Homo-oligomer: A and B are copies of this chain.
Amino acid sequence: MLESAPVLRKRGRPRKDPSLPGSARSQLLRAGVAILTEKGFSAVGIEEILSAASVPKGSFYHYFDSKDAFGLALIDAYADYFARKLDRWFEASDRPPLRRLADFVADAREGMARHDFRRGCLVGNLGQEMGVLPERFRQRISAVFADWEARTAKCLRAAQAAGQIPQGADCDRLAAFFWIGWEGAVLRAKLERNADALDAFAEGFFKLLGTRPGTNDR
């Protein structure tokens, strides 16, 4: 048995690997992220995505079972993209940990500015639409936030080890605080079409990082 692994070719045209880029499928995902970060899920029809991706309508249901399935695939694609982005900043071991966080914030800020503050966070957008989205969306989105928080908490613990924030600080709780507020800031920046909210939240958050724990309990 030597010819084991190298497949066992059947007749007919072989199945395509859906993960490879360049195809119509990834075009749809790209266009989907761009449009949904701006307009949300329910308000956008698939035809708008199709024409943006230059993919005919008939193809859509070849790649995705439904609009919902497309939405879930979009969440996965976006979560992947964002996780890589977070890693890029948070694992930059040549800079102090707190600086890495500030760099991420600056990068996100610049990203929003580049699109005139019209696009927000896909995951935040979909979260807002939970009332009309199927339950599976909730689980996925919730998991994505948990992942982002974990990565952020790790970075904060590195800052703690480096003496940049107090020893007693609860890094998990601070990371949760960050993402709760940051999503609010992104939403607000989209509304006002400027970076004020991002700056205001970042300033407050970094100030909070300097507080000694145990102080000021109501």
Interface residues of A (CB under 8 A from B): 38-40, 42-44, 98, 102, 118, 120, 124-125, 127-132, 138, 141-142, 145, 173-174, 176-177, 179-185, 187-188, 190-193, 196-197, 200-201, 203-204, 206-211, 215-216, 218
**A43 CB to nearest chain B CB (Å):** 4
Q: Which of B141, B179, B181, B206 contacts A216 (CB 8 A)?
A: B206
A-B contact pairs, 20 of them (CB 8 A): A40-B128, A43-B43, A43-B131, A43-B132, A98-B218, A125-B128, A127-B187, A128-B129, A130-B190, A131-B190, A138-B191, A145-B188, A145-B191, A173-B200, A176-B197, A180-B200, A181-B184, A182-B184, A206-B216, A210-B211
Selected contact of A207 from candidates B128, B181, B215, CB within 8 Å: B215
- A interface majority secondary structure: helix
**Which residues of B have CB within 8 Å of A44?**
132
A116 to B: closest C-beta gap in Å = 11
Task: With CB as the reference atom, state the residue of chain B lying closest to A182.
Answer: B184
Contact in complex: B180, A132 (CB < 8 Å) = no
A7 to chain B, nearest CB (A): 41
Given the complex of chains A and B, what is the CA–CA distance between A127 and B212 in angstroms? Answer: 35
How many whole Å from A129's CB to the nearest CB in chain B? 6
Contact at A131–B40, with CB atoms within 8 Å? yes
Contacts of A130 in B (CB 8 A): 190-191
A200–B177 contact, CB under 8 A? yes
Give the Cβ gap from A157 to chain B, nearest Cβ, in Å. 17
Beta-carbon contact of A39 and B131 below 8 Å = yes
Q: Which residues of B contact A201 (CB under 8 A)?
A: 177, 180-181
Closest 7 CB pairs of A and B: A184-B184, A210-B216, A181-B181, A42-B43, A39-B131, A127-B191, A43-B132
